[in-house]
Amino acid sequence: MSARVVRRSLAVGLPLALLATVSVAATAAGAQDRHGRPGPTARVTGSAVLGDVPLAGFSNGLLPGTVDDDRGVMLGGIGSDLYPAGRKGEFWTVTDRGPNGQIKIDGKKRRTFPVPGFDPAIVEVRVDGGHVRVVRSIPLATRSGAPVNGLPNQPGRDEAPYTYDARTPLTYDPNGLDTEGIVRACDGTFWLVDEYGPSLVHVSARGRVLARYVPEGLGLTGTDYPVVEALPGVLLHRKTNRGFEGLAQLPGGDLVLAVQSPLSLPDQDAGESSRNTRLLRFSPKKRAVTAEYAYRFDPVDVVDPGEDDTSELKISSVVAIGRNTLLVQERTDRTARLHRVTLPHGRGILGSAWDDPATSPSYEELTAPSAAGVPVLRKSLVVDLGKVPGVPGKIEGVAVTGRNTFAVINDNDFGMTDGPDAFDANGRLVDSGIDTSVTLLKLPRPLHG
């Protein structure tokens, strides 16, 4: 079996001391120069893949007895994000909730968890030639030291979990996390984002969950770690499996969280057809959200020519490149584009009528939010990765590595596919053959002036 591609939220990152001086001056694939002319194309300078690491051996090496049968699944899914680890070629990554898929039973899709004991982990990797090597791993654990699995939290809100064949129900777990973005704070602790709550999770250097910040009104009980309802209650309307993905750390220490897709306001149909999502600014010092920003996707056929389903639009990565400047990734599963965005002063739409689920029409329903008085973030295209040969699909993490270089990582979903053919007659994985890979790229001009 070949190595794997990593998926979800590659976060473009730089050391905090450098971030304060970064400004995007490069033109790249799909971008334009200051005269409106097409810019030169970025190029791939290297690619490395993660070799085969049996998932049971990986998990049980961190927390013995966690996984009794990995069903032939290899370590993957570490592409949910990418954050520089300090040394050249080394990055912090994070797994998502573990191998999962969907199978239809009696015409209805069921969410499967083939390795329900899997413990999400922070993984430090090194790009070494054409190989991605694991340097060290930190399992996520509760306050008492018990493993944190990736199972859904709340019946009626989260998808019901089932075994690999979608036949036998599994138990919900309020401690479960579907981790995505990652940054490392100056004190050595980590911040992660999660899709279930959605939530912001503070983790010790050893992987213990210190606090989980969730939307007001979530009512999550039974956890073995502190839960704080500190996020806007409107986030309770997040689309299933589309909570927080992108996470950035600004030079001053504030965090920016991206809601992966538009909220389902007033209903699922509105969210599926909307191009309006939200970014939040969180102050670790105040332990509170201090601003909320309106963000509007480009049309789906601009992001991914040939695609006509607006619901395929997602943000999986946000990266700080200045004191109040971000790279924001817009993607489908096939391609991705990076935009530069400057965050304005003030609270944005935080606490406004657009945070009230009763507002009609909702922010998500607006086809011209700026015309309706919504202060939508302005953006400019930096690079269209769909026009750069050699970049894989399902890019979820981005990290800035130098003056005009950056790295991306893809999510390979642990080699999982949907449907009844994901496993053979013996219950062993039929691997997708997609590798977890880190791709190195170079822009034609420096990122910072």
Residue 180: φ, ψ to 5° = -135, -85
Quote the CA–CA distance of 178 and 278 in Å, as a whole number: 19
Residues forming a β-bridge with 247: 257
The pLDDT of residue 449 is 32
Confidence of residue 444 (pLDDT cuts 50, 70, 90): confident
137-185 tens-digit pLDDT? 999 999 999 999 999 999 999 999 999 999 999 999 999 999 999 999 9
What are the pLDDT digits (tens) for 64-85?
999 999 999 999 999 999 999 9
Going by DSSP bridges, is the β-strand pair 90-94/405-410 parallel, antiparallel, or unpaired?
unpaired
Range 296-321 average pLDDT: 97
Sign of CA dihedral 310, 83, 414, 198: negative
Q: Taking the domains of the chain in order of start, what are their residue ranges? A: 16-442
pLDDT tens for residues 238-265?
999 999 999 999 999 999 999 999 999 9
pLDDT at residue 402, rounded to an integer: 85
Relative to beta strand 161-162, strand 108-112 is parallel
What is the per-residue pLDDT across 23-38, written as a single tens digit (0 to 9) for each? 333 344 555 544 444 5
Name the average pLDDT for the chain: 91
- What is the pTM (predicted TM-score) of this model? 0.91
Res. 447 pLDDT band, cuts 50 70 90? low
Q: Which tens digits make up the pLDDT trace of 399-409?
A: 999 888 999 99
Q: How many whole angstroms separate alpha carbon 384 and alpha carbon 94?
A: 25
Residue 320 and residue 251 in contact, taking contact as beta carbons nearer than 8 Å = yes
Peptide bond preceding 169 in cis form (omega within 30 of 0): no
Token digits of residue 375 = 């202060």
- Is 16-442 CATH 2.120.10? yes
